[in-house]
């Protein structure tokens, strides 16, 4: 089930329209609307707690406000690279060059579609995002990958009881699916910290402890024989990612 936030335009979208939109989208049994909001700041606040997959944006008629909405999405993605909101569907007959450029820079998948009837939008979602064949395939691949990581951590005597265990999983997933995004790498610790309500420093320390435990385990040499000294956090996460991908 993919989580959706809808940011409506009060001047265009009636209450009846919102109710129909929610009903039609959730009828797909693939998407679930977690919030329907009118304010972009509230929308980003909810996103930071719920990590939605998709934002449906019915933009403001005001160009200044429209740009502010786009800027807020980009700012969110910069601060929360692991916080979802990777897709934006903009309900507009006009393609905004500003929105396209800014969203592209933030590695956000976006599409402009006409402000259609709710059932048409739901149908467009199913066809555009190919949710059943493509996304389920991606989810299966991610699931297999994370299972491989967990198996390696088990060999390295690193167990879920360690605080840093979930941080390592998030870090490995981030590197695996960053596509070389340096912005994401730069914000890796803060992003994980935001997710769990911690500080970047505490995340870094917890991962360092995990790498220490792994280094001193009986399985380290069999998994990573080329390492002659304990790896740094970045080396540990990177080699764990590469080993899992190879497996």
Task: For CA atoms 152, 153, 156, 160, give the dihedral sign.
Answer: negative
Residue 16 shares a structural domain with residue 116: yes
Q: Hey, which bits of the chain come out as E strands? A: 2-7, 31-37, 54-57, 87-91, 109-113
Distance of CA 159 to the CA centre of its chain: 25
Answer yes or no: is pLDDT of 132 > 50.
no
pLDDT tier for residue 246 given thresholds of 50, 70 and 90: low
Q: Are strands 54-57 and 31-37 parallel, antiparallel or unpaired?
A: unpaired
pLDDT band at 185 (very low <50, low <70, confident <90, very high): low
Pair (121, 172) in one structural domain: no
Contact 65, 98 (CB under 8 A): no
Look up the CATH number of the domain holding residue 116: 3.40.50.2300
- The rounded mean pLDDT for the chain is 84
Side by side, the strands of the sheet bearing 54-57 are 31-37, 2-7, 54-57, 87-91, 109-113
pLDDT of residue 110: 87
pLDDT value at residue 183: 45
Same domain, 158 and 123: no
Residue 68: pLDDT band by 50, 70, 90 thresholds? very high
Same domain, 53 and 92: yes
pLDDT of residue 133: 46
Q: What one-character DSSP code corresponds to residue 137?
A: H
Q: Is the pTM of this model over 0.85?
A: no
- Residue 247 pLDDT > 60, yes or no? no
Judgement on whether residues 122 and 149 belong to the same structural domain of the protein:
no
Query: Strand 54-57 relative to strand 109-113: parallel, antiparallel, unpaired?
Result: unpaired
- Asked whether residue 195 falls in the same domain as residue 105, the answer is no
The arithmetic mean of pLDDT across residues 75-98, rounded, is 86
pLDDT at 138 over 60: no
Last residue of a domain, one of 129, 152, 177: 129
pLDDT of amino acid 41 = 93
pLDDT for 182 beyond 60: no
22 with 125, same domain: the answer is yes
| Measured torsion, CA atoms of residues 54, 58, 59, 61, in degrees rounded to the nearest 10 | 180
Q: Mark which of 129, 154, 186 sits at the end of a domain.
A: 129
- As a whole number, mean pLDDT of residues 37-57 equals 90
Q: Residue 55: pLDDT band by 50, 70, 90 thresholds?
A: very high
Identify whether residues 22 and 123 lie together within a single domain.
Answer: yes
Q: pLDDT value at position 178?
A: 61
Q: Is the pLDDT of residue 102 over 70?
A: yes
Show which of 67, 98, 129 is a domain's final residue. Answer: 129
Domain extent for 118: 2-129
Q: Same structural domain for residues 111 and 213?
A: no
Q: What CATH number does the domain containing 178 carry?
A: 1.10.10.10
Q: Do 20 and 120 share a domain, yes or no?
A: yes
Residue 163 DSSP symbol: T
The mean per-residue pLDDT over the stretch 231-243 comes to: 88
122 & 140 share domain: no
Number of compact structural domains in the chain? 2
**155 plus 173 within the same structural domain:** yes
């Amino acid at each position: 089930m993919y989580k959706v936030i809808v940011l409506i335009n009060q001047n265009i979208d009636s209450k009846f329209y919102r109710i129909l939109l929610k009903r039609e989208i959730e009828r797909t049994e693939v998407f679930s609307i977690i919030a329907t909001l009118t304010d972009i700041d509230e929308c980003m606040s909810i996103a930071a707690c719920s990590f939605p997959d998709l934002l449906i944006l019915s933009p403001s008629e005001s160009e200044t406000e429209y740009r502010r909405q786009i800027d807020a999405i980009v700012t969110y993605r910069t601060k929360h690279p692991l916080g979802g909101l990777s897709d934006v569907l903009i309900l507009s007959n006009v393609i905004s060059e500003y929105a396209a450029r800014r969203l592209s820079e933030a590695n956000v998948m976006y599409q402009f579609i006409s402000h259609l009837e709710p059932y048409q939008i739901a149908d467009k979602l199913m066809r555009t995002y190919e949710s059943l064949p493509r996304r389920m395939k991606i989810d299966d691949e991610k699931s297999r990958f994370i299972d491989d990581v967990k198996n390696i951590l088990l060999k390295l005597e690193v167990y879920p009881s360690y605080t840093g265990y979930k941080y390592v999983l998030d870090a490995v997933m981030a590197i695996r699916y960053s596509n070389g995004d340096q912005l994401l790498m730069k914000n890796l610790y803060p992003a994980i910290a935001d997710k769990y309500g911690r500080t970047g420093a505490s995340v870094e320390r917890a991962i360092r402890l995990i790498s220490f435990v792994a280094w001193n385990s009986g399985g380290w040499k069999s998994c990573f024989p080329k390492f002659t000294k304990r790896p740094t956090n970045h080396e540990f996460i990177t080699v764990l990612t590469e080993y899992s991908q190879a497996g």
